[in-house]
């Protein structure tokens, strides 16, 4: 272990699409854990679309990042020094850390990582916040019933890929939108989706849905927004449920963009559209983690992580989310187990 800690700061608030100008890498000393804290060496760092919102100076569910502050994010790491009886040096833990080599984390706010269940990076995806978002969002907001048609946008992403698989487990017909043939093949061949639409290969999403969802849409799990969502809304069935989980197509909008009005279409089908935030289910995280870990360990739930190597490439990994570079969960490997 060196005495140097590299960490990424927010250099400036982006307008529209962020670029490297928003980020600055700075070297500081490695911090020391206060009583009750752990010094954690980052193995994997999570980059997530919602972080775009934290780059804004606007009140939202996630605290805004301040210019000049170290960027926060989910990490999996190894305990290097422990000032808590709860964890020993060498333990793997996950929690909210920093875009950095090292960070001190409150031992009460981390969870153990069991590498016998899945590779540690899976604790940032299927076994982490994205997996829990999929679990509660689909089951509690989407309320899928056997025989329902469930459509998922961003279906090859960290959340969408789990949503689709839980929906198939519930006896639903599952249709996913994703942005490459490689992704759609993963959905249908490996994850059990009934159909997948490569939205970069067609402009006519409505026609694609007419074919992939001939009985209409009972549940729409939306990670994306924009024209895909516009098309899905024209196919909603009676009593349809829409879980609005993410709207990545709009995260870089500086003004509220316009689109086809959706409220007039809700009346005749009495659809319900609901914003979703996983934190609202915090008291039930244990239930979700247990079931997801069971499905992963038994091989019933597939998962995939796209790994970018090196802390210096963390901003690129983040920016790549908006280009759809990732399949499954996008993570950054900050250090290897044998370092």
Residues that bind a second copy (CB under 8 A): 53, 60-61, 222, 225, 229, 244-247, 250, 253, 256-277, 280
Q: Compute φ and ψ for 103, nearest 5 degrees.
A: -155, 155
CB of 274 to a second copy, least distance (A): 4
CB of 281 to a second copy, least distance (A): 11
CB of 294 to a second copy, least distance (A): 28
CA distances from 85 to 78, 108, 187 (A): 15, 11, 43
Q: Which is closer to a second copy, CB of 169 or CB of 250?
A: 250
CB of 94 to a second copy, least distance (A): 24
Strand pairing class (23-29; 4-10): antiparallel
Q: Compute φ and ψ for 189, nearest 5 degrees.
A: -85, -35
Tokens at 238, concatenated: 């009676």
36 backbone φψ class: left, alpha, beta (φ>0; ψ -120 to 50): left
Would you say 311 and 101 are in contact if contact means Cβ atoms under 8 Å apart? yes
Q: Which is closer to a second copy, CB of 10 or CB of 245?
A: 245
Q: Which is closer to a second copy, CB of 26 or CB of 61?
A: 61
Would you say 251 and 322 are in contact if contact means Cβ atoms under 8 Å apart? yes
Alpha-carbon distance of 243 to 254, in angstroms, equals 24
CB of 234 to a second copy, least distance (A): 8
Alpha-carbon distance of 326 to 128, in angstroms, equals 17
CB of 143 to a second copy, least distance (A): 13
Q: Which is closer to a second copy, CB of 263 or CB of 337?
A: 263
Q: Which is closer to a second copy, CB of 272 or CB of 304?
A: 272
Q: Residue 179 contacts by C-beta under 8 Å, 6 or more apart in sequence?
A: 156, 198, 199, 200, 324
CB of 247 to a second copy, least distance (A): 4
Residue 189's Cβ-count burial label (10 Å; 0-12, 13-18, 19+) is: exposed
């Amino acid at each position: 272990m060196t005495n140097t800690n590299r960490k990424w700061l927010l250099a400036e608030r982006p307008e529209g699409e962020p670029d490297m100008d928003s980020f600055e890498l700075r070297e500081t000393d490695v911090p020391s854990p206060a009583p009750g804290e752990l010094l954690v060496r980052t193995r994997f760092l999570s980059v997530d679309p919602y972080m775009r919102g934290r780059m804004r100076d606007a009140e939202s569910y996630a605290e805004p990042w301040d210019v000049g502050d170290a960027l926060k994010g989910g990490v999996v790491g190894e305990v290097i020094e422990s000032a808590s009886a709860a964890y020993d040096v060498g333990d793997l833990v996950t929690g909210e850390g920093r875009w950095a080599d090292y960070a001190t984390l409150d031992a009460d706010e981390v969870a153990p990582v069991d590498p016998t269940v899945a590779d540690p990076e899976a604790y940032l995806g299927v076994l982490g916040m994205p997996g829990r978002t999929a679990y509660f969002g689909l089951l509690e907001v989407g309320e899928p019933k056997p025989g329902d048609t469930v459509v998922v946008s961003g279906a090859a992403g960290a959340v969408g890929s789990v949503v689709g698989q839980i929906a198939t487990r519930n006896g639903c017909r599952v249709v996913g939108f994703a942005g490459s043939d490689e992704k759609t093949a993963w959905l249908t061949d490996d994850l059990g989706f009934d159909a997948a639409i490569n939205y970069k290969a067609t402009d006519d999403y409505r026609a694609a849905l007419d074919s992939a969802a001939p009985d209409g849409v009972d549940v729409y799990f939306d990670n994306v927004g924009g024209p895909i969502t516009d098309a899905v809304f024209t196919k909603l069935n009676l009593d349809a449920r829409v879980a609005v989980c993410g709207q990545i197509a709009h995260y870089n909008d500086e003004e509220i963009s316009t689109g086809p009005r959706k409220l007039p279409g809700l009346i005749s089908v009495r659809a319900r559209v609901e914003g979703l935030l996983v934190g609202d289910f915090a008291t039930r995280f244990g239930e979700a983690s247990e079931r997801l870990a069971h499905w992963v360990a038994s091989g019933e739930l597939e998962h995939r992580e796209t790994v970018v190597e090196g802390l210096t490439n963390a901003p690129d990994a983040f920016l790549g989310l908006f280009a759809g570079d990732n399949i499954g969960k996008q993570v950054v490997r900050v250090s290897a187990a044998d370092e």
